């Protein structure tokens, strides 16, 4: 049985984007080689990735080309291979096809049911990318864990980690580490997750 883990870089006030469309490249992020190696190691361990359209298109635009871009550090080229080669599911209302080892499911009424089937039929961790998708999984009690890389910045506004949610969710801390430049990693289990 698999588990969905929502993996995201966040500010101290749990924002994932300050300016719409900054696409994970905000100046507030402190992604150095040590942090990227942590990303790579964790991404290698994923059984699959599930991404919403916005996250997927940001990744699709950069990472396949990064594999062979000699101007980039080796750690980034490595992640280009990891992302491109990993089995992926794109959840989108507008896209019907995608490359890079990706299958597409519509973001319609049965998308959550299909994601529940993916979770039940997968051994290992399935990485989740995208606030809207993560909120849908949380509402359906299918989100199992959070993996947050908290950068030492307060944004004050911008895209939150989750869309509006109407009740508290209790978490259990599974793992924490301090990385370079004041970035901390916390991995939490979501107590309310339904059994797979």
SS (H, E, C) 136-193: HHHHCCCEEEEEEEEECCCCCCCEECCCCCCCCCCEEEEEEEECHHHCEEEEEEECCC
- Domain ranges in the chain are 2-124+133-138+152-190
Convert the pLDDT of each residue in 119-178 to its tens digit. 999 999 999 999 999 999 999 999 999 999 999 999 998 889 999 877 899 999 999 999
Look at residue 165 in the predicted model and tell me its pLDDT. 79
pTM for the whole structure: 0.93
Pairing of strands 15-17, 159-160: antiparallel
Least confident of 62-66, 103-107, 129-133: 103-107
Q: What is the pLDDT of residue 14?
A: 94
Average pLDDT of the residues of the chain: 93
Domain 2-124+133-138+152-190 maps to which CATH number in 3.40.50.2300, 3.30.70.1050, 3.40.1280.10, 3.40.430.10?
3.40.430.10
Average pLDDT over residues 103-113: 84
Angle subtended at Cα 103 by Cα 110 and Cα 31, rounded to the nearest 5 degrees: 105
The owner of tokens 């864990």 is 145
pLDDT at position 80: 98
């Amino acid at each position: 049985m698999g588990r969905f883990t929502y993996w995201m870089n966040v500010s101290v006030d749990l924002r994932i984007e300050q300016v719409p469309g900054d696409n994970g490249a905000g100046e507030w992020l402190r992604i150095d080689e040590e942090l990227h190696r942590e990303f790579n190691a964790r991404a290698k361990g994923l059984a699959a990735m599930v991404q919403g359209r916005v996250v997927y298109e940001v990744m699709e635009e950069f990472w396949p080309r990064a594999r062979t871009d000699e101007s980039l550090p080796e750690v980034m080229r490595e992640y280009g291979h990891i992302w491109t080669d990993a089995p992926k599911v794109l959840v989108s209302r507008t896209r019907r096809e995608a490359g890079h080892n990706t299958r597409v499911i519509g973001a319609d009424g049965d998308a959550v049911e299909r994601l529940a089937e993916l979770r039940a039929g997968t051994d290992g961790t399935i990485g989740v990318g995208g606030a809207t998708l993560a909120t849908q999984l949380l509402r359906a009690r299918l989100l199992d864990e959070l993996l947050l890389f908290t950068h030492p910045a307060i944004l004050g506004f911008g895209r939150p980690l989750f869309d509006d949610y109407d009740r508290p969710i209790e978490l259990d801390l599974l793992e924490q580490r301090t990385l370079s430049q004041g970035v901390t990693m916390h991995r939490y289990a979501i107590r309310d997750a339904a059994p797979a």
